[in-house]
Amino acid sequence: MKDEIPKRWIAELLLVIVAAGWGIGFPVMKMVVNTYPVMMILGLRFLLSAFLLLPFSLKGLGALSRQTLLSGLLLGLLLGASFVFLIYGLQLTTASNTGFLAGLSVIWVLLLTGPLMGKRPSFEAILATLFGIAGLYLMADIQGWQLQLGDGLVIIGSLFTAMHIIALDRFCARHDNMTLTFLQISTIALIFLGIQYISGGEVLPSNWSSKLVLALGITAVFSTVIAFWVQTHYQRHTTPTRAVLIYNLEPVFSALFALWLLHETFSANVIFGGGLILLGMCLPGILKVFSKSSSVKLRE
């Protein structure tokens, strides 16, 4: 038991680093999305990620079934749609707004999982959704319920992220996780670069600026490959509830990195609205922790 506690704290510290790796993604992408074509940037990011994951995926790919291939392609399409809306939205809004609004996917998952299983949404899901809507209203500069275009695109992206999470939960139990990840990332890379080529745009940049190299390196290595490796190897040493609470730190890191790298300023609306969205994301996990501690006390 004593050995398990240090192991759990080490695992949770590494999961915090995962959340930071995800959080830095939006600010560094913001540095290049207004200079280079979005499809080219996303295609190169995921192509690099696929090459880095290939050595770890060779065993699973050698025994690839038709069902695994189709599942990976579907997941890739959902994740690709998510990134298209998120990154085009990022062009039109701030990196901090994008980080918080993309975090709404956690709430959409709670809200959609019940109905998809033929059940009503839970009380926690409804409460989290209300916090999310209130935070969205405050931070997204909504006037007369007319949402700013950039923020609206990010919200649509968060819905596709939620659908991807729900689909991934169903497929992961049936297929090898590393193989699924490689197939998703490869699918996204080929689709993005294919669209860029068909539309007549350049597939490779004529000018490799230091910002582009930095953005591709950070998002491919830290936000994708290392993050997935840590998740796969260390998430099992903590509880799902605690893991979700840690992952909810992503928009906080996104805002902090945006403040540091992009010198973005936060209005009171962004701070309070983002806080409400974060609270809505964490609420189900917090309630579970309290309910478990209460049940333990009752047994005692």
Tokens of 63: 């025994």
The two counts, helices (H) then strands (E), for the chain are 14, 0
Tokens of 60: 């699973």
Is residue 187 within 8 A of residue 77, CB to CB? The reply is yes
- Give the C-alpha separation, 53 to 229, whole Å: 10
The per-residue pLDDT for range 58-80, each reduced to its tens digit, is 888 888 888 889 988 998 999 89
Whether 300 is covered by a domain: the verdict is no
The per-residue pLDDT for range 172-220, each reduced to its tens digit, is 778 777 888 899 899 999 999 998 999 888 889 988 999 999 999 999 9
How many residues can be counted in the chain?
300
Whether 298 is covered by a domain: the verdict is no
Provide the H-helix boundaries in 93-122: 95-102, 104-116
The per-residue pLDDT for range 18-27, each reduced to its tens digit, is 889 888 988 9
- Give the C-alpha separation, 26 to 44, whole Å: 16
Whether 297 is covered by a domain: the verdict is no
- Give the C-alpha separation, 142 to 115, whole Å: 29
Amino acid 187 reads T
Number of domain units in the chain: 1
Q: How confident is the model at residue 276 (pLDDT cuts 50, 70, 90)?
A: confident
- 246: which residues sit within 8 A by CB, 6+ positions away? 12, 15, 16, 18, 19, 238
